[in-house]
Amino acid sequence: MPLKTDRRISLTLSLILVAALISACSPAPVGKGGGAGGATSGGGVVRLQGTGASFPFPIYQKWVSEYGKLNPQVQIDYQSQGSGIGIKQISAGTVDFGASDKPMSDEELKQAQGGEILHVPTVLGAVVMTYNLPGNPELKFSPDVLADIYLGKITKWDDARIKADNAGVSLPSASIGVVARADGSGTSAVFTEYLSKVSTEWKEKVGTGTNPNWPAGQRANKNEGVTAAVKQNPNTIGYVELVYAVQNKLPVASLKNRAGNFVKPTLDAVTAAAAEALPATPEDLRVSITDAAGAGVYPISSYTYVLVYKDQKDAVKGKSLVDFLWWALHDGQAVTKDPQYAYAPLPQEVVTRAEAKLNSVTSGGKTLRN
């Protein structure tokens, strides 16, 4: 009897071991979306994956944190990789949402593999000129001067044309260290679009784009990298979203706008740019507000967008995404009142139009905003 019992125990243990090995080698269940964009996991947890623009990254981090406290069953991971990556990955369907400061072109929209992509504006921001000079005086730049600095034609800080805009400011006789983005960037697209509007030479030689062929200077990745390069290297100048300069206590320049006024990059000046552009804003909300008219307008202002498919393959994830973006359009706008998040809230008319976009998102023919 003991021998038979030992054999039965041995057989039972063998079966348990085989079952464990089979279980370990089996693929984990995924949600109906099934892609790299995350999965609806057990226990009611919904995971959403997004990537793209570094321009809004600080406020998106804050939104994800605050929304997660209210909705712990929704776990959102947003990676700051640049607008170019955001457009590429949402077009390929490898993330649940993309993000870009530059609206997608008609050609890019045609290439999207998952159908129609909607542009949902989230906040407004300013692309600012920040610099690292002795004493960091308040500087002013005319459009042609700024273009020629990035064209490599103005190479010294004490150049007569810079001094003409900055009477009484002590400027060093030092070479200008120009810093530009190395990655595909919506911030670069906004900046180069502005330069193309104010400089014929820039438009002809360089043009507009997320990753142009920069004529001068050094390169750094993302807003974070440009900020660090300027902060760590004397006599440099770079372009970043306003919040990066604010959080790193870096100076920002006033720029001469189309009306001929030097304007600081305040949130009111950004809102003024959006207001000027409202009559010309198309139904799909893809709009440029750089070099806008108006006495108090800051000239390098921009919307930033979340990119989502109108038809969501996974209803659960799609519903969670739409609800998060609805919250961002409303409760999330209050975050802009915090000085460390230097973004301007959306105009009410734009909020209303963005609501319509979210109301149009469906899955299996059914609206998700129910």
Out of 244, 279, 301, a domain closes at 301
Return the pLDDT at 93: 96
Return the pLDDT at 8: 41
Number of structural domains found in the chain? 2
Return the pLDDT at 182: 96
Do 296 and 179 lie in one domain? The reply is yes
Q: Residue 99 sits in a domain of what CATH number?
A: 3.40.190.10
Q: Is residue 112 assigned to a domain?
A: yes
Do 297 and 168 lie in one domain? The reply is yes
- CA Rg, the chain, in Å? 25
Out of 254, 271, 301, a domain closes at 301
Q: What residues of the chain score a pLDDT lower than 70?
A: 1-43
Q: Is residue 212 assigned to a domain?
A: yes
Q: How far is CA 171 from the centre of its chain?
A: 33
Do 329 and 257 lie in one domain? The reply is no
Q: Is residue 229 assigned to a domain?
A: yes
Do 278 and 204 lie in one domain? The reply is yes
What are the helix (H) ranges across 166-212? 186-198, 200-205
Return the pLDDT at 43: 58
Do 199 and 233 lie in one domain? The reply is yes
Q: Is residue 4 assigned to a domain?
A: no
Instruction: Name every residue whose Cβ is closer than 8 Å to that of residue 105 and which is 6 or more positions away in sequence.
Output: none
Return the pLDDT at 370: 76
Do 283 and 143 lie in one domain? The reply is yes
- Per DSSP (E only), the strands in the chain are 46-52, 74-80, 97-100, 117-131, 140-141, 177-181, 218-220, 236-241, 254-256, 262-263, 301-309, 362-363, 366-367
Tally Cβ neighbours within 10 Å of residue 236. Answer: 21
Structural domain of residue 326, as residue ranges? 42-124+303-367
Q: Is residue 137 assigned to a domain?
A: yes
Q: Is residue 3 assigned to a domain?
A: no
- Compute the Cα dihedral for 287, 288, 294, 299 and give only its sign: positive
- pLDDT (tens digit, 9 = 90+) per residue, 256-288? 999 999 999 999 999 999 999 999 999 999 999
Nearest to 304 by CA among 285, 281, 277: 285
pTM of the model: 0.85
φ, ψ of residue 145 in degrees (nearest 5): -65, -45
